[in-house]
Amino acid sequence: MAALLAVGGCGKRASEVAPAQAAKAHGIDWYAGSVDQAFAEAASRNLPIFLYWGAEWCPPCHEIKATVFRSREFIERSRLFIPVYLDGDAENAQAIGERFGVRGYPTMVVFSPAGEEITRIPGGIDIQAYANVLDLAIGTMKPVPALLGRVLDEDAALDPAECRLMAYYSWEQNPALLEGRDQAEVFERLAAACPQELELERTKLRLAGIHAAIAPPPGSSEPAELAPEFRREALETVRAMLDDEALVRANLYSVLIAGARITSAVTDAGSPERAELESKFASWIDRLGKDESLFRSERLYALLGKMRFERIGDAEAPLSAGLREEIRRTVAEADAATTDPYERQSVINVASAILDMAGMKEEAKTMLLAELERSKQPYYFMTGLADIEQQAGNHEAAIGWLARGYDEARGPATRFQWGTYYIVGLLEMTPEDEERIAAETVRVVGELGATRAFHQRPKAQLARLQKRLEEWNEGGAHAEAIGRIRQGAMAICAGIPADDSARTTCESFLAPA
């Protein structure tokens, strides 16, 4: 379980209700019909499509709603395309998500009038940058996958608009695009293909390459070791960024969240270079943490950056008394100042996670308990409470929170996600309780089977659940219980039409090798 998670109804179809509700809340004329109808209308009117994929509980989704979707810049541009609001719990939403290759919440995709994907827009960029990316996508209508192929296969150069489109692409939301490739090399080649004068975009791409190169190997929390030449070049890229305010602001998360990891990867402990980067990062982190032009959740990330620098080289090191007091004061101020319900979901998520990571468990618990009374999706915060109790060894309380979170979650995909959290909690904390694990697993899978939603996110979660059950059953330790789960699942699968791909997914669950 993790403290920082980081993604239906009666009458009308949920897919028709959600856009109308969103339009009322945000001033955007979300398309009221089905996704297929939206694409047909886009083709007939020669308009691009903006597809938003999110969920009601998702903190980054709430942040987008509280900021970007309320901005004049976005609302004005929304008239230039057909905006489609797709909630992950709407009818057939997960099948549609699978069709478009969208999984993580939120994902925002621009399609051409012909239905070809042009780009995916990342979160975590300022409103003007968001507007600029929309302008680029609408203006160029050149698909990012095609541009990537030209650079990698033909050594083609990118023009300024193409370079900007690549620099602001949400690569993490489309991992298949880079699957099997040396990502650090890909980003370096993209940066080299950009015009020399576009230093901001070239820096963003090089930093993406650095992040890819230093990603910890499986089973480790430490940055990967870099080749000497790449390390020297990475150090110069980081120095150049820290010496330029525009570059810092274009790479906020690299500064606020990843600064310590980058510093650890490109410098040696005790070296002048390490001291130089620590000083420059500290200065920027402190300044950005007080910058009211940033979203409140972004300012809170400055605390995370400070924690990570204090713990550089020792992830378990106790924090200084001064930083603990700053954390306590800053999160309390953010809690008191944030009244908008959309913004609160993101702010409280970040604030409680920071308290937890700082070792201030009781303060985190108090904040989460209070938020249950205010949040429109209180079940979201119950996983954080379960995590705190599990860390403290209070397994009965932890399982109670997981069970309650599942009971209160709404929407088929969301309920299955919270149901898998609950089952994993049982496997971790009460592995001997075969009867309960078997019965509850069949219940959770059965509920999803009733909606035939074995696609995309639930499909991936089902695979992860199977892996955890197989680990639990290592050496046949719980073979009888696994057999009961498999038997129950097959009865559920039998109710799904044979020509529905959901049935194949369902029948593969715990199938004998």
The whole-number mean pLDDT for each consecutive block of 10 residues of the chain, a chain of 513 residues, reads: 35 33 63 96 97 95 90 92 96 94 94 96 85 90 96 97 96 93 97 98 98 89 90 98 98 96 97 98 98 94 98 94 98 96 93 98 98 96 98 98 98 98 99 98 94 93 98 97 97 93 94 87
* Length of the chain counted residue by residue: 513
Q: Domain residues for 412?
A: 407-513
Is residue 185 included in any domain, yes or no? no
Is residue 468 included in any domain, yes or no? yes
The rounded distance, in Å, linking the Cα atoms of 189 and 365 is 46
> Which two tokens mark 368?
């989460």
Q: How many domains does the chain have?
A: 1
pLDDT of residue 247: 98
Question: Residue 154: what residue type?
Answer: E
Question: b or e along 250-282 (b: 16 or more beta carbons within 10 Å of the residue's beta carbon)?
Answer: bbbbbbbbbbbbbbbbbbeeeeeebebbbebbe
Is residue 112 included in any domain, yes or no? no
CA neighbor of 263 nearest in space, from 276, 247, 249: 276
Is residue 471 included in any domain, yes or no? yes
The rounded distance, in Å, linking the Cα atoms of 432 and 481 is 11
Is residue 376 included in any domain, yes or no? no
pLDDT of residue 219: 81
CA neighbor of 234 nearest in space, from 256, 215, 214: 214
Is residue 425 included in any domain, yes or no? yes
pLDDT of residue 338: 96
pLDDT of residue 26: 55
Is residue 473 included in any domain, yes or no? yes
Cβ pair 236, 273 in contact under 8 A: no
Is residue 277 included in any domain, yes or no? no
Helix then strand count (H, E) for the chain reads 26, 4
Q: What is the pTM of this model?
A: 0.90
